Chains A and B, each alone.
Chain A
Amino acid sequence: MKPLLNAVERLGRGSIFLAKTLRVLPKLLPRFGLVIHQLHSVGVQTLLIIVVAGLFVGMVLALQLYYTLSTFGAEDTLGMLVDLSLVRELGPVVAALLFAGRAGSALTAEIGLMKATEQLSGLEMMAVDPVERIIAPRFLAGFIAMPLLAAIFSAVGILGGYAVGVDLLRVDAGAFWSQIQAKVDFSEDVLNGVIKSFVFGFVVTWIALFEGHDCIPTSEGVARATTRTVVHSSLAVLALDFVLTAIMYN
């Protein structure tokens, strides 16, 4: 009974925390420089892992799908299959998992350490709201960065699939692109993928910031909060992906 009550209480605290964060977001507009600095640490520094992962995921997709498709003589649909798998599922989901591991854990550790070294209380002593000064810019940056990272992941993945499919496995380049343009729908496939990545960015950043803000202010507490961030946000992404897919393509 007690763990259940604990979980419900954490959910409540998390929701209140989210409401507080969302309420101060408009105050960020005059000081957008704070968000840009966070975009650097959340977005730019995650870019490399996203590009490399996207490239390899696209390449292995092309390789795997080619061997299955060639048994039916349907190699020409390779581009469409790679594109659809990336923009609908793998782009948003894998990018969000990498984002949780790379940026989410860093956010939790940073804010947890700020709490452990009493920097957050220090800000409050100076009548500076830590939610407004520390939390909100990071939240907005994560929300903006995630869809961009997912789009980059998908685009690089398609290019990786093209490199393997067309250059290595000799699929016709014209068929590769024309099948994509004939069968991939912008609003149905691409836009729904973008909506997914917005939702994932929102949830992962929320969990990461809340875990950091809510951690026990000791080194062990920060370590546990960081682990929880990665585990919880990965599970949240996978579960939400199922729900969103069921709503979007039922």
Chain B
Amino acid sequence: MFRSIELTVGAFVGIGLAALFMLAMQASNLSSFTSDGQYALTARFDNIGGLKVKSAVKVSGVKVGQVSAIDYDMETFEAVVTMRIDERYDKFPKDTIASIFTSGLLGEQYIGLEPGGDDQVLADQGEIRHTQSAMVLEQIIGQFLFSKSQDNGGNEGF
């Protein structure tokens, strides 16, 4: 009797820990990135749109890292985005372009890197010089309306 109680309690604790393990590994992002072996890159943008800390950094659609900090530089009036990139991907050329894209029409925003052709590679704490800001839907619509109204002869409008 005594032994069977200990057996069931052991099974209970085992199932509970297994459930926790499943929540950690299968049902969250813990397995998808490792904290060891990362290096930092920074990039400056005029407008980061809806980019957030922990947004993805992708190359050709493959996730290689995530945004670790977002700051604003009061000297140059630009947004400074710090990314942590997996150490496996450590040979990006100096003239890599960082752009802010949106996944889908209304999806969340991420940084897309486009490797250039330079022989020198970006080191840890390196800065990506060539950036392209986020597209803000309202601005695009505004530009579209503006050009449309010019086509129609200026002050006709809608």
A interface residues with partner B (beta carbon < 8 Å): 36-37, 39-40, 43-44, 47, 83, 87, 144-145, 147-149, 151-152, 154-156, 158, 177, 180-186, 189-190, 194
Specify which chain B residues have a CB less than 8 angstroms from the CB of A177 in the assembled complex: 26
Report if B34 contacts A (CB, 8 A).
no
**CB-based nearest B residue for A189:** B28
**Can you list 12 residue pairs at the A/B interface with Cβ under 8 Å?**
A40-B5, A43-B12, A47-B12, A47-B15, A83-B27, A148-B19, A184-B27, A184-B28, A186-B30, A189-B28, A190-B24, A190-B27
A47 and B12 alpha carbons, distance in the complex (Å): 8
Known: A40-B12, A180-B26, A185-B28. 14 other contacts (CB 8 A): A36-B5, A39-B12, A43-B9, A44-B11, A47-B15, A148-B12, A148-B13, A148-B17, A151-B16, A155-B27, A181-B29, A182-B32, A186-B29, A190-B30
Q: Which of B16, B26, B27, B30 has the most CB of A within 10 A?
A: B27
Specify which chain A residues have a CB less than 8 angstroms from the CB of B6 in the assembled complex: 36
Specify which chain A residues have a CB less than 8 angstroms from the CB of B31 in the assembled complex: 181
A185-B29, A185-B54, A186-B29 given; A148·B16 CB < 8 A = yes
The secondary-structure label for the interface of chain B is: helix
A189 and B30 alpha carbons, distance in the complex (Å): 11
**CB-based nearest B residue for A148:** B16
A142 and B91 alpha carbons, distance in the complex (Å): 53
B18, chain A: closest CB distance, angstroms: 8
Report if B136 contacts A (CB, 8 A).
no
B105, chain A: closest CB distance, angstroms: 12
Number of A-B residue pairs with CB-CB distance less than 8 Å in the complex they form: 87
Contact B27–A158 (Cβ < 8 Å)? yes
Give 10 nearest A-B pairs by CB, closest first: A148-B16, A155-B19, A186-B30, A151-B19, A186-B28, A151-B20, A152-B19, A184-B28, A44-B12, A39-B9
B28, chain A: closest CB distance, angstroms: 4
Specify which chain A residues have a CB less than 8 angstroms from the CB of B139 in the assembled complex: none
B90, chain A: closest CB distance, angstroms: 24
Per-residue CB contact flags for chain B residues 1-45 toward chain A (1 = under 8 Å, else 0) read 000011011011101111110111011111110000000000000
Contact B23–A87 (Cβ < 8 Å)? yes
Of the candidates B13, B16, B18, B24, the one whose C-beta lies within 8 Å of that of A186 is B24
A36 and B22 alpha carbons, distance in the complex (Å): 24
A5 and B17 alpha carbons, distance in the complex (Å): 44
A145 and B15 alpha carbons, distance in the complex (Å): 11
Q: Which of A36, A185, A186 has the most CB of B within 10 A?
A: A186
A148-B17, A151-B19 given; A87·B27 CB < 8 A = yes
B76, chain A: closest CB distance, angstroms: 32
Specify which chain B residues have a CB less than 8 angstroms from the CB of A152 in the assembled complex: 15-16, 19
A36-B6, A40-B8, A190-B23 given; A180·B28 CB < 8 A = yes
**CB-based nearest A residue for B108:** A183
A158 and B23 alpha carbons, distance in the complex (Å): 9
**CB-based nearest A residue for B14:** A148
A186 and B24 alpha carbons, distance in the complex (Å): 6
Specify which chain A residues have a CB less than 8 angstroms from the CB of B23 in the assembled complex: 87, 151, 154-155, 158, 190
A113, chain B: closest CB distance, angstroms: 21
Specify which chain A residues have a CB less than 8 angstroms from the CB of B12 in the assembled complex: 39-40, 43-44, 47, 145, 148
Q: Which of A44, A144, A194 has the most CB of B within 10 A?
A: A44
B78, chain A: closest CB distance, angstroms: 28
Specify which chain B residues have a CB less than 8 angstroms from the CB of A183 in the assembled complex: 29
Contact A36–B28 (Cβ < 8 Å)? no
Specify which chain A residues have a CB less than 8 angstroms from the CB of B54 in the assembled complex: 185
A47 and B20 alpha carbons, distance in the complex (Å): 15
Specify which chain B residues have a CB less than 8 angstroms from the CB of A47 in the assembled complex: 12, 15
B20, chain A: closest CB distance, angstroms: 4
